Structure 1
Amino acid sequence: MRYKKGFETKENIIRVAKKMFYEMGYTKSTVQKIADNANIPLGLIPYYFKTKDNIVLEINSKFFLVVYEFVNNRLNIKRNSYLKLYIVTSIYYDLILSDTRNRKFFYEVLRNKSNFRSLSFSVERIYKMIAKEFELDYDQKDIDCIMISEFGARRELLLNYCEGNLGVELEYLLKKLSSLTGRLFGINGEIIDDYHNQCMEFMKEHDYSYIKFLA
């Protein structure tokens, strides 16, 4: 019974936070306001989430997993980790950036370097699978360097796009974001272009509009 109550409280915090983040943005949605709207004492939130960024991390992790499962259940392939990640990345950012309020919240988190890690998703296992499938002799140091490099490049691309400094269409940005992994792994450009075409076909054929980032 105690476990069930704790689970319900945690889910209620997430539900309320998502609604507030969507309507008010990241900065104005203080922990105090989240607690008030969730009808719980302020001191109870740190029991479930150490900081507001941990709430963001939970929301983002669940969102990424939903997108990943959506693609995984519809992509008729057994082994191709990068193609799957390419499509997941494109849908993930399309759902966030094509919605004005999602994009506003996302940008607020982007501006703070430490907060941005709350919007990262764990891809280390996927990266190791990519290295294996492309027969790349990469060790942990190589994987770590790729992850850090992609993290920084992705943040700068997204910041400049949200601030209007790039002047590119969303589809162009999605291609650049999704192809970053392949470029850093040294995957042939023709293969990456083919994956992009497959990604565009997949996104046209499957309706994923029901998947929500915040609300």
Structure 2
Amino acid sequence: MRYKKGFETKENIIRVAKEMFYEMGYTKSTVQKIADNASIPLGLIPYYFKTKDNIVLEINSKFYLLIHEFVNNRLNVKKNSYLKLYIVTAIYYEIILTDTHNRKFFYEVLRNKSNFRSLSFSVERIYKMIAKEFELEFDQTDIDCLMISEFGARRELLLNYCEGHLDVDLDYLLKKLSSLTGRLFGIPSETIADYHRQYQEFKEAYDYSAIKFLV
């Protein structure tokens, strides 16, 4: 019973935070306001989430996993980690950037370098699988450098897009964001172009509108 109560409280905090993040953005949704709207004492939130960024991390992780499961259950391929990652990445950013509320919240987190890490997802294991599948001799240092490089490039692309400095259509941006990994791995341009085509075919074939970032 105690565990169930704790689970319900945690889920209530997440639900309220998502609604507030969607309506008010990241900055105005203070921990105090989240506690008030969740009808719980302020001191109870750190028991479940040390900081507001930890709430964002939880929301983002669940969102990413939902997309990954959706793609994995429908993409009829076996050993092709990059194709899956390409499609998951494109859908992830498509859902966020096509909704003005999502985009506003995302941008506010994006502006803060430390906070942006709460919007990132662990890809180290996937990167190692990609290196193996493409028969690339990448050691741990190579993987670490690749992750850091992609992290910075992705953030700058998104910042410039959200601030209106990058005048491109969404499909172009999704292609660039999803192809960053392949470019850094040295995967042939023809392969990357084919993966973008497969993402577009996947998008036409399946309805993932039920997957939400915030609400």
Which bin holds the TM-score, normalised by the shorter protein?
Answer: over 0.9
**Structure 1 stretches of 4+ moved >3 Å:** none
The equivalent residue for 2:157 is: 157
1:103 paired to 2:103? yes
Question: 1: CA distance between counterparts of 2:97 and 2:214?
Answer: 12
**TM-score (norm. length: structure 2):** 0.99
CA shift at 1:193, angstroms? 0.7
The equivalent residue for 1:122 is: 122
The equivalent residue for 1:71 is: 71
The equivalent residue for 1:42 is: 42
CA shift at 1:2, angstroms? 1.1
- Give the share of equivalent positions with the same residue, in percent: 84
Q: Deviations over 1:36-84 (max 9, x none)?
A: 0001000000110000000000000000000000000000011100000
Question: 2: CA distance between counterparts of 1:140 and 1:12?
Answer: 39
Question: 2: CA distance between counterparts of 1:171 and 1:196?
Answer: 10
CA shift at 1:93, angstroms? 0.2
Unaligned runs of 5+ in 1: none
Aligned amino acid, residue 174 of structure 1: L
**What is the aligned-residue RMSD (CA, Å)?**
0.5
Unaligned runs of 5+ in 2: none
The equivalent residue for 1:33 is: 33
CA shift at 1:175, angstroms? 0.0
1:92 paired to 2:92? yes
Alignment of structure 1 residues 1-215 onto 2, 5 Å: 1-215=1-215
Number of residue pairs aligned between Structure 1 and Structure 2: 215
Question: 2: CA distance between counterparts of 1:5 and 1:128?
Answer: 39
CA shift at 1:205, angstroms? 1.1
CA shift at 1:3, angstroms? 1.0
Q: Deviations over 1:97-121 (max 9, x none)?
A: 0000000000000000000001001
3-state SS in 1 of match to 2:79? coil
Q: Deviations over 1:147-193 (max 9, x none)?
A: 00000000000000000001000000000000000000011111111
Aligned amino acid, residue 207 of structure 1: D
